[in-house]
Amino acid sequence: MKSRLLTVALGILTAIGGFLDAGDLVTNAVVGSRFGLSLAWVVVVGVVGICVFAHMSGKVAAVSGRATFEIIRERLGPTTAGLNLAASLAVTVLTLIAEVGGIALALQLASSVDHRLWVPVAALAVWLVLWRVKFNLMENVTGLLGLALVGFAVAVFLLGPDWGDLAAQLVPQVPVQESAAVYWYFAVALFGAAMTPYEVFFFSSGGVEDRWTVKDLATSRLNVLVGFPLGGLLSISIAACAAIVLLPAGIQVDSMSQLTLPIAEAGGTLLVAVVIVGLVAATFGAALETALSTGYTLSQYLGWSWGKFRRPVHAPRFHLAMILALVVAVGVLMTNVDPIAVTEYSVVFSAVALPLTYLPILVVANDPEYMGEHVNGRVMNLLGTVYLVILVVAALAAIPLMIATEAGG
Amino acid sequence: MTSRPNRQPSRPAVVLTVVVALTCGLAACAPAATRADDAGALDSVSDHLDDSSSAVASAELAVRARAAGRLPAVTADVAVGDAVETATGAVHGIGTLVVATGDADRVRDDALDAASAAVGPVAAARTWLGRPPSPADDVLRALDDASSTLDDASGTVDEALARRVTP
Amino acid sequence: MIASDLLDVPVHDDAGAQLGWVVDLRFVLDGAPDAYLARARLHGLVVSPRTRTSFMGFERSSVRHPWPVAPILRWWHRGAFLVHWPDVARVPHPDEGAGPGDDAAVVLRAGYTAYEPGL
Amino acid sequence: MRRRRTGSRDVPRGPEPRQPGRVLDARLHLLDRQVLDVDGMPVCTLDDLELEAVDGRSAPDEPIDGSVPVVVAALLTGPVLGTRVFGGRPPASRWHRLSWAHVVDIGTAVRLSVRSDDLDATWLERWTHDHIIGRIPGGHHDPESS
């Protein structure tokens, strides 16, 4: 009994720590410094959405043993699934670039060695973990260290803001100095950051890696339903830190170092150190997850052997795909692109690719041949359908908004 | 290999992929700084001045935090280093804008002066960080001055923009 | 012959009238026992009169969720039917239909029977 | 309205008689499913099905009509995927066949009675193994044991 409680607690803590990635960190900070908390509602909408679909894909994986992209291929056929694969891979690799860049930027904060020099080191470290380390260990260590980002929530309290004022910001409204199009552009970006498709690929494939069965469903549901909302709360506290300190100073976030300024003001050197550990862990964990997701999607579409639980020689093409993805990431970062800019684009393109990923999950979760008695209930279906509509609207709006606002100019 | 026209559903799909890819590519490459008309150029100047102010404010926060011993030296150095990059980027951005009329040109030159003047204090802040601990008053005063100069320049640009809207 | 030689191909009756497209092949495992499973006999073709797009089989199953995806697809494929394999008089050659206007189609025997496609 | 159809819209449909064996629809139950080997190792995706006359006397490139009973000869994978997406048809010599006789079970995945390593269809997997992944130190390390 005790060990079971421990497992659940560990799962929840990992889910909190693993929720945040470079996309969430950057987008929330940017949004907080420009819009205060007036977009916090989007995080809430996104978190509920990722809970619904992560739970659904986890359930499908546990009951049928099939991961998300196998199902996408089986249900949508090779052509539509192929388009989906192209879009998902592009977005996942873009996210991987952002995450590896994020690790480098976070390490720079702790070392003042230029982030471009950290990029190959970070990528090599990611690869070594993918190559050697047990799936569970990898998940738990990055997740628990990522918990250090609780520092942002602590900072909000230490800053001792005017709570009434902060609460008043929660009302959705377009600030006077920003246009409505820019507001909605960032709404889509935040939504994309919270619901990135790789999370679902990773979650369902991870369920297969961990050999989930129907018995584990309750645990998985608890992890998702408790862990992700708390992770979302951390997202909002990043925006709050930016809103309290950076917004009044007229600072627009365009680098990761600016994330540490509110922390320094609130908690001093110690808290900054804690948060930097959290930044490294969160981006490192997300880099692992995105790299794995590139391998998962490609292998599952083409029916290759995959999985970290197998020896690399027993899943050679899966490992080769991940190596190539990392090489591409390093190559792109070496062209001196700004990782922050890559991150901002990656979350918007995520929003574009979302509906294609989520529709097949919703369909299969209703299919008794896959799910037996575990087909979706009414509430789950209602939520799933509502979210599908939101996803389609966000996907259609993303590119026009990006062009109209010159990517949030 | 023979081609079979009754497999056609795939063709629109392929075209769609190409169109989406191209749109995405173009959207990502769309340069924000090269705007032909003057109103657009002044908008850009205003954006760059905002960047510059943001950099000065970041440097100021970092220096204050460092002076109070609340920010590790390495992190402060990175923060101010990023601010230097942003500030020089803004100068570059304003300097390479193309403006047509003399009026807009004058506004641009003022903005360029203000943005250039801001780079020095931000860079000086970084130098201060590298030196053995000493009072930060001078550095902060210089940053303050740069900040107000930038505010003035921003005001001028806004006025010029307002004049355009209501001639 | 491979399955995709039949899938998505137009279906005509013996008079040349278009009936729809082959959207699926139905097999029945009732052939001679092979090593593990009985051999899968091609039992018939599922023909949909309105669309040749691949779909999720909602008109053949009792699944009604998720709304509105399932009802829409079911409605789109209304009128789908099954013809048994012996009612197929002609199957186009894989190389047929290469040129434009060359209408390769599965042709059904006169007096073929259409069955409910439900599983 | 652009309808080219000349036949009746909705043909009258009789009830389908009950079949003596398990009923499977190609797209719903077979195509694009994951194929697993005897140890549960993924082999490939089921990209297409090869059909043959029940007496075995049919050429792979020749169509068969309803006068002859037809059965599934083999599961196909490999280049047929590309042609399913982009149109066309690879020559029969380039099909990777997995004989129907090896199929043990059809569920959410198709299970075979043979080992993945013994199949021609997985040559690329073996090539990657032999020439790339197997040569990187630690490739044989079992991640679950650490």
Number of domains in chain A: 1
pLDDT tens digits, B82-126: 999 999 999 999 988 887 777 788 888 899 999 999 999 999 999
What is d(CA D79, CA C67) in angstroms, rounded to the nearest whole number? 37
**Residues 6+ away with beta carbon under 8 Å from A292:** A130, A202, A205, A308, A322
In a domain, B4, yes or no: no
Question: What residue has token string 């009675």?
Answer: D113
pLDDT tens digits, A58-72: 889 899 888 989 988
Question: What residue has token string 């100073």?
Answer: A249
Query: Which residues are D99's β-sheet partners?
Result: D74
Q: Give this prediction's pTM.
A: 0.89
Task: Say whether pLDDT at C79 is over 70.
Answer: yes
In a domain, B89, yes or no: yes
* Residues A57/A200, Cβ–Cβ less than 8 Å: yes
Residue A179 near chain B (CB below 8 Å): no
Please give the average per-residue pLDDT across A215-236, as a whole number: 88
Question: What residue has token string 């990528």?
Answer: A123
**Residues 6+ away with beta carbon under 8 Å from D74:** D49, D50, D95, D97, D98, D99, D100
What is d(CA A132, CA D141) in angstroms, rounded to the nearest whole number? 7
* Residues D34/D77, Cβ–Cβ less than 8 Å: no
- Chain C residues whose CB is inside 8 A of the B9 CB are 8, 52-53
What confidence category does residue D59 fall into, taking pLDDT thresholds of 50, 70 and 90?
A: confident
Please give the average per-residue pLDDT across A193-201, as a whole number: 88
Residue C3 near chain A (CB below 8 Å): no
- Chain D residues whose CB is inside 8 A of the C90 CB are 65
Q: How many other CB atoms are there within 10 angstroms of residue D133's CB atom?
A: 23
The kind and range of the H/E element at D125 are helix D123-131
pLDDT tens digits, A303-349: 999 998 889 989 999 999 999 999 999 999 999 898 888 888 888 98
Query: Counting one residue from C and one from D, how many pairs have CB atoms under 8 Å apart?
Result: 179
For D26-135, CATH number out of 2.30.30.240, 3.40.720.10, 3.40.190.10, 1.10.1060.10 equals 2.30.30.240
What confidence category does residue B9 fall into, taking pLDDT thresholds of 50, 70 and 90?
A: very low
Q: What is the DSSP letter of C55?
A: -
**Residues 6+ away with beta carbon under 8 Å from D37:** D43, D111, D112, D114, D115, D116, D119
Residue D55 near chain C (CB below 8 Å): no
Please give the average per-residue pLDDT across A231-243, as a whole number: 94
In a domain, A370, yes or no: yes
What is the average pLDDT value for chain A, to the nearest integer? 90
DSSP for A312-325, written as a single string = GGGSHHHHHHHHHH
Question: What residue has token string 């053949």?
Answer: C60
Half-sphere exposure of residue A85: CA atoms within 13 angstroms, side-chain side? 22
* Residues D54/D71, Cβ–Cβ less than 8 Å: yes
What is d(CA A322, CA A308) in angstroms, rounded to the nearest whole number? 11
Range of the domain at A63: 2-404
pLDDT tens digits, A133-171: 888 888 889 989 999 999 999 999 999 888 998 899 888
Provide ipTM, 2 decimals.
0.84
Task: Say whether pLDDT at B2 is over 50.
Answer: no
Collapsing DSSP to helix, strand or coil, A180 comes out as helix
Determine whether the interchain pair C65/A381 forms a contact, defined as Cβ–Cβ distance below 8 Å: yes
Q: Which residues of D48-84 are buried (b: 16+ CB within 10 A; e: fewer)?
A: bbbbbbbeeebebeebbbbeebbbbbbbbbbbbbebb
In a domain, B5, yes or no: no
Sign (positive or negative) of CA dihedral B110, B116, B117, B122: positive
What is d(CA C14, CA B165) in angstroms, rounded to the nearest whole number? 73
CATH code for the domain of A70: 1.20.1740.10
pLDDT tens digits, B29-68: 544 444 346 777 888 889 999 999 999 999 999 999 999 9
Determine whether the interchain pair A313/D133 forms a contact, defined as Cβ–Cβ distance below 8 Å: yes
Residue-level pLDDT at B26: 62
Residue B1 near chain D (CB below 8 Å): yes
Residue-level pLDDT at B36: 47
What confidence category does residue D9 fall into, taking pLDDT thresholds of 50, 70 and 90?
A: low
Closest Cα in chain B, distance from residue A258 (Å)? 6
* Residues B125/B55, Cβ–Cβ less than 8 Å: no
Question: What residue has token string 């220096």?
Answer: B63
What is d(CA A76, CA A356) in angstroms, rounded to the nearest whole number? 9
Least confident piece of the model among A116-125, C4-13, D80-89:
D80-89
What is d(CA C59, CA D122) in angstroms, rounded to the nearest whole number? 36
**Residues 6+ away with beta carbon under 8 Å from C78:** C50, C59, D10
Please give the average per-residue pLDDT across C71-80, as a whole number: 84
Range of the domain at B148: 34-165
What is d(CA C45, CA D17) in angstroms, rounded to the nearest whole number? 15
The kind and range of the H/E element at D75 are strand D70-77
What is d(CA C79, CA C96) in angstroms, rounded to the nearest whole number? 28
What confidence category does residue D10 fall into, taking pLDDT thresholds of 50, 70 and 90?
A: low
CATH code for the domain of B98: 1.20.120
Please give the average per-residue pLDDT across A379-391, as a whole number: 92
What is d(CA C36, CA D100) in angstroms, rounded to the nearest whole number? 9
Distance between first and last Cα of chain D: 66
Residue type, C70: A
What confidence category does residue C54 fall into, taking pLDDT thresholds of 50, 70 and 90?
A: low
- Chain D residues whose CB is inside 8 A of the A311 CB are 139-143
C100 vs C77: which has the higher pLDDT: C77
Number of domains in chain B: 1
Residue-level pLDDT at B50: 93
Question: What residue has token string 């023909």?
Answer: C47
In a domain, B95, yes or no: yes
Least confident piece of the model among A19-28, A76-85, D59-68, D102-111:
D59-68
- Chain D residues whose CB is inside 8 A of the B4 CB are 87-89
Residue-level pLDDT at B33: 42
Mutate to test the interface with B, among A93, A269, A271 (most CBs of B within 10 A): A269
Residue-level pLDDT at D17: 84
Q: Tell me if the bond preceding C68 is cis, omega within 30° of 0.
A: yes
The CA–CA distances, whole Å, from A290 to A194, A196, A285, C30 equal: 14, 10, 9, 46
Question: What residue has token string 């609460």?
Answer: A167
Task: Record the tokens describing residue B166, joined without a space.
Answer: 């209501």
Task: Say whether pLDDT at A183 is over 90.
Answer: yes
Task: Say whether pLDDT at B158 is over 90.
Answer: no
Range of the domain at C63: 3-115
Determine whether the interchain pair A112/B78 forms a contact, defined as Cβ–Cβ distance below 8 Å: yes
Task: Record the tokens describing residue A237, joined without a space.
Answer: 């506290």
Instruction: Give me the torsion for CA of C27, C32, C34, C36, rounded to 10°.
Output: 70
* Residues D13/C81, Cβ–Cβ less than 8 Å: yes
Collapsing DSSP to helix, strand or coil, C114 comes out as strand
* Residues D83/D92, Cβ–Cβ less than 8 Å: no
What confidence category does residue A221 fall into, taking pLDDT thresholds of 50, 70 and 90?
A: confident
Residue A273 near chain B (CB below 8 Å): yes
What is d(CA D46, CA B145) in angstroms, rounded to the nearest whole number? 70
Determine whether the interchain pair B4/D87 forms a contact, defined as Cβ–Cβ distance below 8 Å: yes
Number of domains in chain C: 1
pLDDT tens digits, A257-308: 999 999 999 999 999 999 999 999 999 999 999 999 999 999 999 999 999 8
What is d(CA D59, CA D73) in angstroms, rounded to the nearest whole number? 12
In a domain, A157, yes or no: yes
Task: Say whether pLDDT at C99 is over 50.
Answer: no
Residue C4 near chain A (CB below 8 Å): no
What is the average pLDDT value for chain C, to the nearest integer? 84
Residue-level pLDDT at D2: 41
pLDDT tens digits, C25-41: 999 998 778 778 888 99
Task: Say whether pLDDT at B167 is over 60.
Answer: no
Among A187-191, A343-347, B8-12, C102-106, the range with the most confident prediction by mean pLDDT is A187-191
In a domain, B138, yes or no: yes
**Residues 6+ away with beta carbon under 8 Å from A241:** A29, A32, A152, A155, A156, A159, A259, A262, A263, A266
Nearest to B1 among D84, D85, D90 (CB): D90
